[in-house]
Structure formats: C-alpha cells, structure tokens
Amino acid sequence: MALLEEPIKEVKVLKNYIGGEWVESKGEIVDVVNPATMKTIAKVPISTKEEFDAAVEAAKAAFPDWRRTTPLARSRILFRFKQLLEENFEKASRIQTQEHGKTIDESRGETRRGIENVEVACGIPTLMQGYISEDIAHGIDEWCMPTPLGVFGIIGPFNFPWMIPLWSAPYAVATGNTIIIKPSSEVPNSQSFLAELAEEAGFPPGVWNVVHGGRTVVNAMLEHPDIKGVTFVGSTPVGRDVIYRKCGETGKRVIAQCGAKNFMTIMPDCAVDNTIASMMTSFFGNTGQRCLAAANAVIVGEDDDFYNEFVKKVVEAASKIKIGYGLDESVQMGPLRDPAKKQNVVKYIEIGLEEGANLLLDGRKFTIQGDYPDDCFIGPTIFENVRPDSRLGSEEIFGPVMSIMRVKDLDEAIRITNANAFGNGHSIFTQSGAAARYYQYNVESGNVGINIGITAPVAFFPFGGMKDSFFGILHTQGKEAIRFFTESKVVIQRWF
Amino acid sequence: MALNTCSEGISFARELEQAAAGMYERLAQLLPAEAETFRAYASGNKKNIANIEQAYYGVITDAIEGCYAFNIEPADYAIDVTVGAELDRAAALAKAIAVEETMLRFYQVAAEQAKGLMADVPRAFTLVARKRGERIEELKSLAAR
C-alpha cells in the first residue's frame, strides 16, 4: 500500500510561542526523530528558565483582559478554533504519525478526541454558570460563581502528542485563564501546529503559549509563584514524587494522571471474535504506549477447552498484525517511540522468561512491512502462566506485551486486579449483565470498560484514575475540568 | 493482501465510488438518452464518499477497533469500469448493474464485519448499500425497457 504524504518535509528548528510571537530559544537544540524511518524531522529547543519566566509574564499580562472577555466571546474564538482543527484534521493526524509512529487510524482517533474537548469547551457560557439562593436569611442573598485563577501550566506526554494537552487547554482558556503548554520534547511538532491554529483562531497574545523543553521548564513551572495550577500526564514516579509533591509544597492545584497496569477480565461467555479484536486494539494499539492499554488478560473459568481455543485464537490474531510505518494505511502497529523504549520492552520479555512465564509469541522476532530500520520496532509479545505479583504481571511496561493469567472465577479476577497498585482502565468482556455489574461495582479503577478494551472517556466525562494512576482530586475533561480551572467565589449580599 | 484497517476500508470504498463515478460520467457521454440518470449516479457516488468519510472521521477514536475493523480481500470486489465506444445501451446497463452488484456486496460484507466494532461506519455502509440496491432495481428496470 502506498504511503500517505508526510506533512513535515523539511527540518526546521521549532520556536516557542510566547505572547503571540514565535520566539527563538537560546537553549540547546535536539533532534526530533521519526521512529519509523529514524530520520530527523525537526529540531526542538530545550528552553531555559528565563524563557519560561518570559512566557509566564506574557500569560500573566494577558490574563486580566482575557478574564474580562465575555464567555460568549471566548466561546466564539473556540468555535473558530474547532473549525480550523476540522479543516486541518488530516494534516494534524499525519504529523502525529510522523513524529510518534502510531498508525494513521490511531492518529485520526487522537485528533478526533482532541477536537471533542474543544467542542465541549465551546459550551462555556452555560458550563461556567454559577448558582444563587435568594433569602438565605431575611433580606440576604447568596451566590456562588466560578472565577478563573490566572496562569496554568500543561505538561504533555510523548504518547499522545496532540490530544492530551487538549484534555486541559480548551477548558483552561474557556474559563478565562491563560496557559503555557510544555509538550514532550520527543514529539513537539503537534503542539507547535496546534499553537499555529490557536493563533489563527484569534486567541489574544499571551492567552495560549507554548514553551518547548525538558526538566528545566518543568521545574520552572513547578516553582513559579504565578503558576496557579498544573496538569500533567506521565509516569507515576514523576507524577507522584515530583509534580504532585511539588505542587503541594508550592500551593498549586494539580491533576497528575500517571501510570497503569490494566487488567482485562475475559469471561467464558464473551463474544469471542469481537473480544479478540478489542484485545488486539487494547494490548497492541499505539504499540502498547497507552495508559489505558490492557496489559494482563485474566481468563476466567476452569474450562480447558475454552481456554486453549481462546488463547490459540489470540496468538493467531496477534501473529498476523502488520507492523510498519503508520502512514501506510494497511499497518496495524507502528514502532515504539524510540530505541530506549524498545530496549525496555525487550528487558521485560527477558524478565518474563526469567520469572518462568511461558512465551507464546516472541515480539523480538518480527517482520516489518516496508524497508525501514528496526531500531524502534518490536512485535506483539504474549506470555501465559504469568503470576500477578511477578514483575511482568505487576509493573507497567508501556509496550505491546500481553500477560495471560488464568483464574477460577470472577471474584478471583477482581481480587488480583485490585491487588495491583494501579487503577486506571480495567475492563471485562462478557455477555452477562450480572457479571458486568458485579465487576464494575467491585473493581478499583478510574475508568471501567464493559466490552470496551480502551476505556477512554469521551470529552464530556472526566478522565478517571485511581490509586497509583492518579494524584489529585478533580480530573481533566468536561465539568471536572471546569471546576479545576475555576475558583468558587461566594458572595453574600445584603442591602440596608 | 487483505484489508484490515478502517482507514484501508474507507480508502477502498472511496476508490470504488470514484471509479464507478468516472464510469457513469463516460456512460453519460456515450448514451445521451440516459445521461441524466448516469450523471445523477456519478453525483450520488460523490455524496456516498462524503457520507462515509463523515462517519469515519466523526467516530474514529481509540475506544474503537480502527486497526482491526475488516478482513476484506479487495480482489473479490474488483470492478470493470472501462467504457469503450462500441458499448451499446444493453451492454452499458449490464456493466453498470455488475458494478453496482459488486459494490453492494462489498458494502454488505464490510458493514457486517465492522458491526459492533466501528460504531457509525457500518451504519454508513449499510445506508450506501441500501441506495445501491435501489439503484440496481432502477438499472434493471431501464434494461427491461
């Protein structure tokens, strides 16, 4: 199948977008490499603290006027933004594939999820309404109104370069705040392109800012007294021990969405073919680099025939997955983001073997569709007889590795699922309503799937997370994001 | 090689619709008496593409199985859209019916395979299949005159 055209054709040094200007950074410049071709597609600055501080000043200066801009006027800019995102849907999707490696279907899905958040935020005139009680005492009225706070920081991860900042950004600006986005330096092009569209949509200078970089920018964001809050998506050690802790110390509100080890429970009454399609998507989609990717397949029941036949079909399906460059529409699984991530997955395959798990499909042996270097590619891996308390069965791998576990009943499946430290996106596949209800009631997971392998909430629901998968109180997306980005100001009124 | 991803399925549907639209535009020039019908079909094919793409781009997210939507062998749905100057009315209508029947079969199979996985996409395919069925009846009726 012919490749779709690459949108990034020449290597440019990306600029920061500060105060409505595209500004060159004085920081170190590093390459952005397409993981499928291993060609450099851009260069990104590792911005300095001073450059981040300049962005804060610009965002702070823009805040008073932006706050005074009526919600309806802010909404109109968001509608223009949404229209531009639709017009540039395909380009945005192909940029994601080119810089991240995911397949074009996955990138288009990511683009759509991002746009949905802008669509929800367009409803800000009603989403941001407060409430009032007349005569809380004789002649005294009281009301509560959500008000914006100021400048927010948004830290994006590498695995969803376009969508994840959009879980926060539209709500932050819709509520009258100003923002500074720090994209992952591995995949910075998507957010640069998004900022171009934000500029074209008419956000006033300083409302929407992008500062590329790494740890220096993150630390500056966490330390800066004028940053009112931070949203973060990334690993649990960083989210819990750095972002959440530091925001607590500096008095910032925080949403830290972190790691996962998702369990998919498979009941013997599941719809087998559809379940297997969902498993392929959940375990191997985005090459396993999703916080909602399933990692452990928990097969319920003592029926050996069902177990053996089901596992055989799963292995067959996984072994047929087409691996290659995501701009080839026939490709079902792209590369991992970089060689180090591949080495990490290989390490876990070796750990699985050392722990005595049975390797049914070895991802270290694979065929790439097309002539591409194998630096970042890996095939789907399937282990069985994995213990839930083993490293393979309990730690986040962030790669296309399925660990099959067998349990005697649903209670045992829920018990081993809940024993894991994470609680992000567990799911059950069954045709039984009673089993599904029992599962969703008892499982400890911020997002629960019933015959859904990727439990990604749509934009008007919060993106949940429990235990070591989430640190904070309110979540990104929808009404909870509106709450996060606003302070409840209560007014009590009496006239003499 | 079999088509598996939703993206491939949509691209294949687009190719079929565009090829068939081209055929109808050529048939309209060849057979002026049926030109209005053939031009309407060509225009209808473009609307079909728009409707299918709208369904796909509107619903594609990571919660559905975009990379595992189909198992379709494109060779099973090859269509002959060549229009030679020697083609008479009967042969032209027979060719159009054959093309439509193949495309109907593609949409029916694709809709069935993606049912339960791809949300609005199989529904869009089913709607196009229904239109194709109506078109086949109309072409057969024309051929019988």
Q: Which residue of B has its CA nearest to A286?
A: B62
Q: How far is A281 from chain B (nearest CA, A)?
A: 6
Of the partner residues B8, B60, B65, the one whose CB lies closest to the CB of residue A329:
B8
* Same domain assignment for residues A198 and A306: no
Q: Are residues A282 and A177 in the same domain?
A: no
> For the residues B7-13, what does the mean pLDDT come to?
96
A254 and A331: one domain? no
- Residues A190/A162, Cβ–Cβ less than 8 Å: yes
pLDDT at A199 over 70: yes
Chain A: closest CA distance from residue B40 (Å): 28
Chain B nearest-CA distance from A127, in A, is 23
The interface pTM score, or ipTM, of the predicted complex is 0.91
pLDDT over threshold 70, residue B9: yes
**Chain A residues within 8 Å of chain B (Cβ atoms):** 1, 89, 103-106, 108-110, 112-113, 271, 274, 277-278, 280-281, 285-286, 290, 292, 317, 322, 329-333, 452-456, 458
The pLDDT of B27-46, averaged and rounded, is 96
CB atoms under 10 Å from CB of A243, counted, come to 28
A277 contacts B117? CB cut-off 8 A:
yes
Q: Are residues A186 and A243 in the same domain?
A: yes
The reply to whether A155 and A71 lie within a common domain is yes
Residue A343 belongs to some domain of the structure: yes
Q: Which distant-in-sequence residues (6+ apart) come within 8 Å of A210 by Cβ?
A: A16, A17, A18, A180, A181, A182, A183, A191, A192, A195
Q: Same domain for A313 and A328?
A: yes
Position A449, amino acid: G
* Mean pLDDT confidence for A15-33: 98
A452: closest chain B residue by CA: B63
Q: Which of A278, A271, A321, A316 is nearest to A297 (CA)?
A: A278
Is A291 assigned a catalytic role?
yes
A181 phi, psi to nearest 5 deg: -95, 130
The pLDDT of A98-108, averaged and rounded, is 97
> Considering chain A, what is the average pLDDT of its residues?
97
Q: Would residue A65 count as lying in a domain? A: yes
Q: How many CB pairs under 8 A join A and B?
A: 85
Query: Alpha-carbon distance A114 to A483, whole Å?
Result: 19
Mutate to test the interface with A, among B53, B61, B67 (most CBs of A within 10 A): B67
Tokens of B108: 């029916």
Which residues on chain B are in Cβ contact (under 8 Å) with A89? 57
Q: What is the pLDDT of residues A427-483, one digit of tens each?
A: 999 999 999 999 999 999 999 999 999 999 999 999 999 999 999 999 999 999 999
First to last CA, chain B: 41
Same domain, A270 and A340: yes
Q: Do A105 and B116 touch (CB under 8 A)?
A: no
Q: Is residue A462 part of a domain?
A: no
Give the torsion through C-alpha atoms of A461, A462, A467, A473, to 10 deg.
Answer: -140
CATH of the domain at A249: 3.40.605.10
Q: What is the pLDDT of residue B117?
A: 77
Q: Is A21 helix (H, G, I), strand (E, B) or coil?
A: strand
Give B60's contacts in chain A (Cβ within 8 Å): 105, 108-109, 112
**Catalytic member of A258, A270, A291, A376:** A291
- Residues of A within 8 A of B57 (CB-CB) are 89, 108, 112
Query: What are the tokens at B134?
Result: 């109506």
Q: Are residues A235 and A276 in the same domain?
A: no
The domain that contains A378 carries what CATH number?
A: 3.40.309.10
Is A82 within the bounds of a domain? yes
Cα A8 to Cα A96: distance, rounded to the nearest angstrom? 10
Q: B118 pLDDT band (50/70/90 cuts)?
A: confident
* Minimal-distance CA residue of chain A relative to B61: A109
Q: Are residue A130 and residue A219 in the same domain, yes or no? A: yes
The minimum CA-CA distance between B85 and chain A, rounded to whole Å, is 33
More confident residue, B59 or A415: A415
- What is the model's pLDDT at position B1? 85
For A322-344, the pLDDT digits (tens) are 999 999 999 999 999 999 999 99
pLDDT digits (tens, 9 = 90+) for B53-101: 999 999 888 777 889 989 999 999 999 999 999 999 999 999 999 999 9
pLDDT at B65: 83
Q: List residues of B whose CB lies inside 8 A of any A CB.
A: 1, 3-8, 11, 57-69, 116-117
Domain that holds residue A202: 12-258+469-494
Decide if B5 and A281 are in contact by the 8 Å CB cutoff.
Answer: no
Examine the domain organization and report whether A22 and A87 are in the same domain.
yes
What are the residues facing A296 on neighbouring strands? A263, A403
Nearest to A265 by CA among A443, A469, A399: A443
Per-domain boundaries in chain B: 6-144
CATH 1.10.10 fits B6-144, yes or no: no
> Is residue A342 in some structural domain?
yes
* Minimal C-alpha gap between B106 and chain A (Å): 18
pTM score above 0.90: yes
Average pLDDT of the residues in A365-374: 97
- Say yes or no for a CB contact (<8 Å) between A455 and B4: no
In-domain check, residue A5 = no
Number of neighbours of residue A241 by Cβ within 10 angstroms: 12
Considering only residues A1 and A192, tell me which one the structure prediction assigns the higher pLDDT.
A192
pLDDT band at A261 (very low <50, low <70, confident <90, very high): very high
Q: Are residues A309 and A396 in the same domain?
A: yes
Cβ-defined contact of B65 to A453 (cutoff 8 Å): yes
**A332 and B68 in contact by Cβ < 8 A?**
yes
The reply to whether A228 and A371 lie within a common domain is no
Report the domain count for chain A: 2
Q: Report the share of chain A in percent with pLDDT over 70.
A: 100
Quote the percentage of chain B above a pLDDT of 90: 86
Q: How confident is the model at residue A1 (pLDDT cuts 50, 70, 90)?
A: low
pLDDT band, very low/low/confident/very high, at A388 (cuts 50, 70, 90): very high
